[in-house]
A and B are shown apart, each in its own frame.
Chain A
Amino acid sequence: MVRYLITRLGQALVVVVLVTVIAFLILHLLPGGAARATLGKEATLEQLAAFNHDMGYDRPWFQQYVMYVQRLLHGDLGYSYQLNQSVVEAISQRLPKTMVLSLLSTLLAIVLAIPLGVIQAVRRNRWPDYAITSLSLLAYATPIFFMGLMMIILFSQVWPVLPPEAPQGFTVAEVLADPAGLVLPTVTLAIVTIAVYSRYVRSTMVDNLNENYVRTARSKGLSERRVVLRHTLRNGLFPVITLLGMYLPALFSGALVVESLFNFPGMGQLFWQAALKRDFPILLGVTVIISIATVVGALLADLLYAAVDPRVRLRGSAS
C-alpha cells in the first residue's frame, strides 16, 4: 500500500512536470513568441525586446524553462493586458464556480447513473436495458450545446419554468443563491456524464454478476435483492471510483461548452473568451491549472480506490 502510494504520487508529479513542459513549448511555438502573445499585436519592437529581457526570454531555453517553473511555483502565471488583470487573479475568481458546476453535475450523474446501470445489469438484454442503452447512446452522440439548447427551448420557451441563463454572481455564494439558474447548466453537463457512467456501471455489474462468488451467495439462499445490493453492488462500484478520475478531462471539456452556452462565469467561459481574443497568457494559465486539477483529481480517485478496496489495500502486506 505504501509502495503503491509512493509510486502513484511519483507518477502524478512526473505528469505535472510534463504538463508544464508542454505549456512552455506551446508558449514558445506561438507566432512572434511569448512577448508578442503577451503584449498583443500593437506592441513595438522595443517593447518586445524589453519584455523579452525582463522575462529572461533572451536566455538559453532550459534557463527559460527553469524560470518559467520558478514563476509558476510562486503563483505567477503572467499578466493579461487585455483583462488588465493578473492571470492568477482571473482564474481564482472563476475556478471555484467551475468546480461548483462540475461537482453538482457529477453528484447528479452518480446519483442517477448507479441505479440506472444496476437496473440494466439486473435486467440485461431485456427492454429496460435496451431502452437505457439507446438513450445513453443518443446522449453520447448529441453535441452538448445542441442538447443544452433543447433544454433551453423546452424549459424556458415551451414550458417557461427555468431561466435560460446561468447565475451571473461574482462569488460562489452569489452563484449558489440562484439555484434555478443552475439547474439547466448542471443537468446539461450531467446528461452525457450519466450516459458514460451508467454504461460503465452496467458493464462492471454484469461482470460481477457472472462471478462465481455470486453463485456462492445465491447458494446461501439469499434473496436476489440481497445478492445484488450486499454482494455485487459494492464490488461493481469500486472501479467506478477510478472512472471518476479518468473522466475529469471530459468533464472539464464539457464544462467549457456548457459555460459558453449558458454564459456561466467560470473558467471555461474565461478560456473561451480568451481564445476568441487570442489572450494567450490566460489561455496557457487556464490550461496549466485545469490540467493540474485533473492530475490531482485522478490521483485522489486512485487513492480513494486503493483505500476502500481491500484487494488493493492489503496487497502490499500480504507478501
Chain B
Amino acid sequence: MTTLSEAVRPGAVPDQPADASEAPVRGLWRQGVVVFCENRLALVGLGLFVLLAGVCFLGPLFYHTDQVHTDLQAVHLAPGEKGHPLGTDGVGYDQLGRLMLGGQTSIIVGLAAGILATAVGTLWGAVAGFVGGWVDSAMMRVVDAMMSIPSLFLFMLLAAIVTPSVPMLIVIIGAFAWLGPARLVRGEALTLRSREYVQAMRGMGGTGSRAVRRHIVPNAIGTVIVNATFQVADAILYVAYLSFLGLGVPPPAANWGGMLSDGLADTYSGHWWLLYPPGIAIILIVLAFNFIGDGLRDAFEVRLRRR
C-alpha cells in the first residue's frame, strides 16, 4: 500500500499558511472538463455524436427528399444515379434522406428511453437503498425477478401486445431497462450512506434528508450520469433488435435498425448501399455514447482522486 503513495505524497499546498494558494483555484466542474478533454476517445465520441445528430436533425433542412410517397419508378437505384447520392431503396425512398429520418427516430428513442430508464432506476434504487430493511429486500427481489427475464423476450412480448410507435417504444424500453440503474444506484446509496462524512454530518445533528440532499445525491450523480450514457447506447441497440425481429415502428416511419433489417433482404441482390450505411451508423452512434460514458467516468472520478 505504501509503494506509490509513499513516493508521491508531498504536494501542491504546503502546510505553511502563508503560501497556501500557490496553485490556481479551480472548480470541480472545470477540472472535470479538463480531464474529459484529455481523453481523446471521449472527444471523438462527443464529436461523432454531434456530427451524426447534426446531419440527422439539420440535414433535412438543406437536403429535401420525399420520405412519405413511394416512387416505384426509382427503385433500387445505385448511389449517384438520378441525383440520389446514396441511391434508393426497394420502394424508391432516397437512402440518404431516409438515413437522416431514421437517425432522428433512433437518436430520439435512444435518448428518451435511456433517460427514462435511468430516472426510474435511480428512483427505485435510491428508495430501496435508503429505506433498507425488508422494503429493500422486497424491491430488490422484484428487480432480480425482472432481470432474470431476458430483456429481449420481455420487449417482444410487450411489442406483440401493443402496436409499436415511437412513444410506445420509448415506454417499453424505458419500462424494463431501468433494472440495471436501479441495482447500481442502490449499491451506491448503501455505500454512500455509510461514508464517514455522512456520519460526521449526523454527529453535528444533521437529519436524514440533509444527508440525501447535500451528500448522497451530489456524490451519486456522477455514477448516474455515466450510466445514463450507456443506457442510451443500449436503447438504440434494442430498437434495432426489435425492428430486426419485425416489431419495430411500421413504415413510412423509419429507424436505422429497421433500415438495416430491411437491408438484410438485399444481401444477395448486391444492393450494398441499403445494408452498410445504416449498419455503420448504428455502430458509430453506439460507440459514440460508450466513449462519452468512459470520458465522463474519468471526469467524475477525478474529483475524488487524492494526490
Contacts and interface: CB of A to CB of B under 8 A. Distances in A.
Interface stretch (B14-22, B120-128, B147-155, B189-197): B147-155
A214 B101 CA distance: 55
A305 interface: no
Interface of B: 1, 3, 141-142, 144-154, 156-161, 233, 237, 240-241, 244-247, 257, 260-261, 264, 267-268, 275, 279, 282-283, 286-287, 290
A298 B264 contact: no
A283 B157 contact: yes
Given A15-B148, A152-B267, 17 more contacts: A14-B145, A15-B145, A18-B142, A19-B149, A26-B161, A30-B161, A141-B283, A145-B244, A250-B151, A252-B150, A256-B150, A256-B152, A275-B245, A276-B247, A286-B153, A287-B149, A295-B148
A234 B187 CA distance: 27
A280 B233 CA distance: 30
Given A11-B144, A18-B141, A256-B152, A143 B245 contact: no
A146 B279 contact: yes
A142 interface: yes
Interface centre among A137, A142, A146, A276 (most CB of B within 10 A): A146
Interface string A232-272: 00000000000000001110110011001100000000011
Interface residues of A, number: 51
A272 B233 CA distance: 24
Contacts of A153: 267
The 5 closest A-B pairs by CB, nearest first: A18-B145, A253-B152, A141-B286, A249-B150, A252-B150
B152 to A, nearest CB: 4
Contacts of A15: 141, 144-145, 148
B145 A22 contact: yes
Contacts of A14: 141, 144-145
Given A143-B241, A276-B246, A298 B233 contact: no
Interface string A272-305: 1001101010011011001100110010000000
B49 to A, nearest CB: 13
B141 A256 contact: no
SS class, residues of chain B in contact with chain A = helix
Interface string A72-110: 000000000000000000000000000000000000000
Nearest to B138: A14
A26 B157 contact: yes
Contact of A142 (B148, B261, B264, B283): B283
A278 B156 CA distance: 10
A149 interface: yes
B157 A143 contact: no
A65 interface: no
A252 B153 contact: yes
B63 to A, nearest CB: 25
B124 to A, nearest CB: 15
A141 B150 contact: no
A40 B240 CA distance: 29
Contacts of A45: none
A287 B148 contact: no
A135 interface: no
B267 A149 contact: yes
Contact of A145 (B3, B158, B264, B290): B264
A18 B286 CA distance: 33
A22 B154 CA distance: 10
Contacts of B246: 272, 275-276
A29 interface: yes
A275 B237 contact: no
Contacts of A276: 246-247
Nearest to B162: A31
Contacts of A261: 244
B144 A272 contact: no
10 contacts: A14-B141, A18-B145, A30-B161, A145-B241, A145-B244, A149-B275, A249-B149, A249-B150, A257-B241, A278-B160
Contact of B149 (A146, A212, A290): A290
Contacts of B1: 212
Contacts of A144: 241
Contacts of A278: 160
A15 B260 CA distance: 37
Nearest to A278: B160
A257 B244 CA distance: 8
B238 to A, nearest CB: 9
Contacts of B264: 145, 149
Contacts of A146: 260, 279, 282-283
Given A140-B290, A260-B244, A271 B149 contact: no
A14 B148 CA distance: 12
B273 to A, nearest CB: 15
Contacts of B237: 141, 143
A272 B267 contact: no
B157 A287 contact: yes
A138 interface: yes
Nearest to A298: B148
Contacts of B147: 249
A31 B290 contact: no
A22 B149 contact: yes
A253 B287 contact: no
B176 to A, nearest CB: 11
Given A14-B141, A140-B290, A284-B157, A275 B247 contact: yes
Interface string A214-239: 01000000000000000000000000
